[in-house]
Structure 1
Amino acid sequence: MLEIVTGIVLAASAGLNAYIPMLGLGLLSRFTPLVELPDGWAWLENGWCLGVLGVLLLIELVVDKVPALDTVNDVLQTVVRPASGGIVFSAGSASDTVAVSDPAAFVASAQFWPFLLGIAVALVPHVLKAVARPIVNALTAGAGAIAMSALEDLGAVALTVLAVVVPLLSLLLLVAVVVLLVRRMRRALRARAARRPV
């Protein structure tokens, strides 16, 4: 049961930032005894993979803090974040995941469902983020982009680490993050509606 909680929280973290949970799992597996990735997902701890993920994360950290570019980034990340969610859910939840050498066999196996569930879970925070960001940018003349992005990144880091170390606490934090995102979006929508001329 805890493996499923870990997978759900990691996938939700990927919905905020695609690269933090993948990089986190890879680093934790490579340098600590906290995570032992299954053979099929051991590529996440490969030096080249970690390097590429690190570069992509740096690009994401910069682009996501620039108003207007953050919205374009969210559109582009609509494919990347759910895919990352599927990967980290599968890698984080199933210690006996096998390598995908035959895609048809993978689709027919039970291992396909964790990947799909991870995609679905990652879509929720991604959609909330993608909808809230332009509204926050419009209401704050772009000043809110840096703060929102920093909070999302910190949330993704905290969720990733806690998903591995204390899964149930991470689930509570995830619920809190989703509630805060929904409340923030509602507040922003109310403020936007109040500013419109009648």
Structure 2
Amino acid sequence: MLAALTGMGLSAAAGLNAYIPILVVGMLANFTDAVRLPNEFSWLGNGWVLGIVGVLLAAEFVLDKVPVVDSVNDTIQTAIRPASGGIVFSATAAAAEVDNSTWMSEHPWVGWLLGIVTALIVHLMKSTARPVINASTVGLGGPVVSAVEDAGSVSLSFVAIFLPILVIVFLIALAFMVVWTYRKVRAFRARTKRRPVPG
């Protein structure tokens, strides 16, 4: 159960930023005993992999703060964030096998699927809301929201590893945020359709 919550939390973090949870898991596995990765996921702690992920994170950090560019980046990340979610969920679920939990090892596709779906839901909410935030704040809100998302991804990654039970609180909040975002986007689109065309 806790392994699943850890996986869900890391996958949700990947939906906000594909690289932060991979970097957190990799660094903790490499430098501490907090995360023990099985052989098939040992590459996550490789120094070269961590370096490449760090460079990608730096690029993502900058691109996601620029209005319009952030939406293009979100389009590209539609494949990357869910894939990252699948990786971190599967890696942590597989790590539970080290602690004598065999269910995930017998059903490895479950971890991949849950990770991909969780990250995809968070990513779609983020990428749908961002153009509305940019348009309604003349681009000023995007960098602020992006910074909050990055901080959320870091926090959620550590919570998922060290206090996985709190991931339940985040998932409940996420469900409310999905509904809220959907309503805001619908209201914004309705307002823009009613606006008179200059002319």
Q: TM-score, normalised by structure 1?
A: 0.87
Task: Provide the residue aligned with 1:78 in structure 2.
Answer: 78
Which segment drifts farther, 169-178 or 129-138?
169-178
CA distance in 2, matches of 1:151, 1:159: 12
CA distance in 2, matches of 1:154, 1:171: 18
The Cα offsets for residues 131-150 of structure 1, whole Å up to 9 and x where unpaired, read as 11111111111111101101
Task: Provide the residue aligned with 1:23 in structure 2.
Answer: 23
Aligned length: 187
Question: Which secondary structure does the structure 1 equivalent of 2:195 belong to?
Answer: coil
CA distance in 2, matches of 1:62, 1:178: 28
CA displacement at 1:176 relative to structure 2 = 2.0
**CA RMSD, aligned part only?**
1.8
Which segment drifts farther, 2-11 or 180-189?
180-189
CA distance in 2, matches of 1:66, 1:185: 23
Please tell me whether the aligned partners of residues 29 and 45 of structure 1 are also in contact (alpha carbons under 8 angstroms): yes
Please tell me whether the aligned partners of residues 132 and 188 of structure 2 are also in contact (alpha carbons under 8 angstroms): no
Residues 178 and 17 of structure 1: is their aligned pair in 2 closer, same or farther, counting only changes over 3 Å? farther
CA displacement at 1:92 relative to structure 2 = 1.3
The Cα offsets for residues 20-49 of structure 1, whole Å up to 9 and x where unpaired, read as 000010011111221111111111011000
Task: Provide the residue aligned with 2:101 in structure 1.
Answer: none
- Is residue 116 from structure 1 mapped to residue 113 from structure 2 by the alignment? yes
Matching residue's letter, 2:173: A
Alignment of 1:172-183 (within 5 A): 172-180=169-177, 182-183=179-180
Query: Percent identity among equivalent residues?
Result: 48
CA displacement at 1:9 relative to structure 2 = 1.0
Stretches of structure 2 lacking an aligned partner (at least 5 in a row): 99-105
Q: TM-score, normalised by structure 2?
A: 0.87
- Is residue 140 from structure 1 mapped to residue 162 from structure 2 by the alignment? no
- Is residue 160 from structure 1 mapped to residue 157 from structure 2 by the alignment? yes
Question: Which secondary structure does the structure 2 equivalent of 1:142 belong to?
Answer: coil
CA displacement at 1:157 relative to structure 2 = 0.6
**Which of these residues, 171, 184, 193, is aligned with residue 168 of structure 2?**
171
